[in-house]
Structure 1
Amino acid sequence: MRKRWLFLCMIILVGIGVLGYWKYQKTDKAVQADQDVFQSVEEAYDLIRKQSVHETSEKQLIEGAINGMAGSLKDPYSTYYTKEEAKLHREQLSDERVGIGAEITESQGRFIIISPMKDSPAEKAGLKSYDEIVQVDKERTDGKSLTELLALIRGKEGTVVKITVYRPSEERHVELNITRAAITQKSVSSKVLVSEGKNIGYISIAMFGEKTAEEWYKNTDELVKQNITALIIDVRSNPGGYLKSVAQIIGSLTKPKTTFAYMEDAVGNQEPLQLGKRDLAFEYDEQLQKLPTVLLQDEGSASASEVLSGALKELSRATIIGDKSFGKGTVQGTWPLSNGGELKLSTHKWLTPKREWIHGKGIKPTIEVEQDALYHINLPPITGNFKEGDFAESIQYVQQVLKAQGYSINRVDGYFDRTTAEAVKEYSKKHNLNNNKIMDEEFLFALRQEVVKYREKLENDLQLQMAISYLSHKISN
């Protein structure tokens, strides 16, 4: 047992990279100290396996040990992924994943379909908005997390997954056989906005994935062909991604060999990051590098998004409009482990071109613009049935949305009082809903969809409107 446990511990240490730093010759005293540590780990392992009333496996204990070591760093960005979680994490940054093509939300332990994607396997099989997933193949969804549910739904391309849903509109359960397919994920989208007779290019980057630079090139190339006179880059709610992708985007907007950031290692050595023409995967139009540019950011713009924002701001290449960014100034490396899992560790700090570390501080916009209340409120849930006298977080979301829309609401603490009931009744009457002072699922779904549609209207986006106004003024002078 001791040899096996010591061997497993050594694997864990190799995965973390600790052995890479042991470049000095250990003394006998140091070796003895290490053995004492491993002995206490072995003792704890044996006690848990033999004495605990809770059944555990060797796999659970090993993964718990790795989780504990990662957690001891007190770094939210250093984490351990199980084999299944590692696969999902890689898929998030991939341009393609195998699945059914549906937007799913978790609400109070229930998994609700927001909408199937157009022409997706889910749509073709008959999955509908508001369906509740209750079983995948032969496995119930009760007590599962959204991550666990997605792991059940995904699988090999061309295979069939049987999904059982409860359909409230028909008050019955429906079984659907859905053939999994490769679902292409686009991280970049664009369009032309017209202001005062001038074409302004708008390009949104949802994340920095494997093919984001390629998508950026295709979209900006098309925008330039449409004679745009200015450019808006939107990285709001972009959580980051691959540094290489954001580096190539910066390279398309700045001169070759421009230092766009610095990497600082654990001992303080700083390395300038530059991108030359030979490093770019594409030939960029020189016009793109001369266009007046605005970058939109908010508190959800993090990591690689902030590398882009910090570079364009400090190199005087773009005006930053919106809110202060999130403030993530570390870079992570990921190592595979022998059990199929992965360990992600913060290995470097990144600094702006002026060598500023923005961690915990964020990047301040050049022009600060706050959105109205409906842009900051969490979307209401779409499950539940609430009446006067109830208290719940879901009610609080509804109260916030109704108050932002101008309804008379005295409190937004989640307590369903008389004024909330009257506002619900007024909203229901206005939207031809059948409920009377009751927040049922029909009411919650209608309210959520209204908020989504509100946010999709360009005229309600105050930050975007400021960007358009700023650029219109700039190109007219």
Structure 2
Amino acid sequence: MAKQQQQKLGQPKKRQLFVPIFVGIVAFIAGIGLTLVAGLAMIGHVGFSQNQSRGSLSKITSVYQTIKANYYQPVSSDKLINGAINGMVSSLNDPFSEYLANQDATDLNNTISGSFGGIGTSVKQAGNYVAVDAPVKNTPATKAGLKTDDLIVSIDGKSAKGLTVAKVVAKIRGKIGTKVTLGLRRGSTAFTLTLTRAKIPVKTVTGAIDPTNPTVGNIQITTFSEPTGKELKQTIKSLRQKGAKCFVIDLRGNPGGTLPTALETASMFLKNGQTIMQTQEKAAQPVKYVASKDYDQGFKVKEKTVVLVDGDSASAAEIFASALQQSAHDQVIGTQSYGKGTVQTVSDLGGNSEMKITTAKWLQPDGTWINHKGVTPDQKVKYPDYAYLSTFDTGKTYQLNQSSRAIVAIQKILNALGYTVDQENGVYDQSMQTAVTNFQNDQLKNGVTGLQANGIVDPATGDALVNALTQKISQNDPMYAKAVAVLTQ
């Protein structure tokens, strides 16, 4: 890479971002990842012609002064200034350009660094609530005694029913040292815990040897934040020591991360000089970024590799997948990726405020722009049909002789789990009652508490149905199975 390009990536307080719209089934309470890069000039350095300065910008000043002097109620200067900035950015009609002030700016910076103020657990959707998925050791969550499958029914005294994973994450995440009170339900027991938020480092890379193929290393990258490159190297070294001779790189649900991290990690899998990606700014020729020791510090992965993507793989994840697909000629397996082909630059405006705006396209190694199209897998493999089933209101009770759309959803889930229902017509009949009773008995045998084998879908049974379906989806993974087959054939 040219010296000029390296300097550009190293400028302080200026970063470029790839920020997709993404909500996953499982997300850290500490926060959800973004995609970021080094950036352009400070916003204050953008030039205007004299006519623009005296004309258009004077209108902004005039409106500000008029409101301050004549509006019938006092108006905060900060509110007016923030409103003016938000208005200009909103006029771009670009969902990835925005003005970030105070906590929003802090959250973005925390996401880049890979650590957050939170309680230290992953969470998952469980019917109409969000549940604890896996508390992280030595965090407020484990110290307070949170356990997997604890339902979060309220946050700071307000009901959490109907909230998405993303909304629960946003409410529980916060400033380090502040407190959050959670109302929880464990089986039939309800209780309340108050936890003090702490700095939670988010591990972005995990790996394991495939249980049935000891030469296959399975690596998941959840986001591309600052620690990811180091974590990926450590994971690969560890898996090599355990016998891995080839790797699955799972980028499904990965919303992106920092561009320097995408360049660093992709470079590990490419020969020096091979193209990772290209960027193209306004009225400029594309600039290529190529694999080199400057990115990967000489650490290379020469083992056979397959990459997994889906519709929630975006930005930096797509850069990584494209680089390995086109330059390393590794296979990409899964479904069409998200398709975000733009670069955002973050400018520090001072006063704990920042602005990010789209400043460039990014292109695949061959020059293709994937915006709104995504990366096309070499082998398209879908999730099983039951992975797309609708959920239902688990806070309600459903029983014999009732009928509703929610019961249709329950019938489809029961059939997917192997508990046969005669018809998926929304009528709670005798065959459905028998199927529910059989499900409840099996759950009780497996140690699930809070259920009664009575053939009634109460809230506890509803949550158990959703959890069982989620578990089946994770255990029956045709994309991963195809990747292993490709690696071991």
Normalising by the smaller structure, the TM-score range is: 0.7 to 0.9
Which position in structure 2 is the counterpart of 1:463?
A: 479
Q: Which of structures 1 and 2 has the larger relative contact order (alpha carbons within 8 angstroms, sep 6+)?
A: 2
8 Å CA contact 1:126–1:176 kept in 2: the answer is no
Q: Is 2:204 the counterpart of 1:183?
A: no
Which position in structure 2 is the counterpart of 1:134?
A: 154
Identity rate of aligned residues, in percent?
A: 25
Which position in structure 2 is the counterpart of 1:243?
A: 259
Residue-by-residue CA offset, 1:174-221 (whole Å, 9 max, x unaligned): 4434344433321111112266x7612221111101110000101111
8 Å CA contact 1:435–1:443 kept in 2: the answer is no
Query: Which residue, out of 375, 399, 413, partners 1:401?
Result: 413
> In angstroms, what is the RMSD of aligned CA positions?
3.7
Cα distance, 1:222 vs structure 2: 1.8
Which position in structure 2 is the counterpart of 1:122?
A: 141
Mapping for residues 250-269 of structure 1, pairs under 5 Å: 250-269=266-285
Change over 3 Å in CA distance of 1:45–1:319 after alignment to 2: farther
Q: What letter corresponds to residue 57 of structure 2 in structure 1?
A: D
8 Å CA contact 1:163–1:176 kept in 2: the answer is yes
Aligned length: 435
8 Å CA contact 1:94–1:209 kept in 2: the answer is yes
Moved more, 337-346 or 372-381: 372-381
Change over 3 Å in CA distance of 1:386–1:175 after alignment to 2: same
Q: Is 2:450 the counterpart of 1:450?
A: no
Mapping for residues 375-394 of structure 1, pairs under 5 Å: 375-377=387-389, 382-385=394-397, 388-389=402-403
Which position in structure 2 is the counterpart of 1:50?
A: 72
Q: Normalised by the size of structure 2, how large is the TM-score?
A: 0.76
Which position in structure 2 is the counterpart of 1:78?
A: 97
Which position in structure 2 is the counterpart of 1:39?
A: 62
Q: What letter corresponds to residue 430 of structure 1 in structure 2?
A: F
Q: Distance in 2 between matches of 1:421 and 1:268?
A: 69
8 Å CA contact 1:373–1:404 kept in 2: the answer is no
Query: Which residue, out of 215, 233, 237, partners 2:231?
Result: 215
Mapping for residues 167-206 of structure 1, pairs under 5 Å: 167=185, 169=187, 174-193=191-210, 199-206=215-222
Query: Which residue, out of 81, 101, 114, partners 2:120?
Result: 101
Which position in structure 2 is the counterpart of 1:348?
A: 360
SS, match of residue 252 in structure 2: coil
Change over 3 Å in CA distance of 1:258–1:171 after alignment to 2: closer
Q: Distance in 2 between matches of 1:422 and 1:342?
A: 59
Q: What letter corresponds to residue 215 of structure 1 in structure 2?
A: E
Cα distance, 1:262 vs structure 2: 0.7
| Unpaired segments ≥5 residues, structure 1 | 1-14
Cα distance, 1:98 vs structure 2: 3.3
Change over 3 Å in CA distance of 1:365–1:46 after alignment to 2: farther
8 Å CA contact 2:153–2:160 kept in 1: the answer is no
Q: Is 2:427 the counterpart of 1:418?
A: yes
Which position in structure 1 is the counterpart of 2:342?
A: 330
Q: Normalised by the size of structure 1, how large is the TM-score?
A: 0.78
Which position in structure 2 is the counterpart of 1:5?
A: none
Which position in structure 1 is the counterpart of 2:6?
A: none
Cα distance, 1:118 vs structure 2: 4.8
Whichever structure has more helix as a proportion of its residues is: 1
Query: Which residue, out of 288, 306, 311, partners 1:299?
Result: 311
Cα distance, 1:308 vs structure 2: 1.0
Q: Distance in 2 between matches of 1:380 and 1:16?
A: 49
Residue-by-residue CA offset, 1:384-429 (whole Å, 9 max, x unaligned): 445635566xx676455345446448668xxxx3158963662344
Cα distance, 1:131 vs structure 2: 4.3
Which position in structure 1 is the counterpart of 2:85?
A: 66
Which position in structure 1 is the counterpart of 2:446?
A: none
Q: Distance in 1 between matches of 2:172 and 2:146?
A: 17
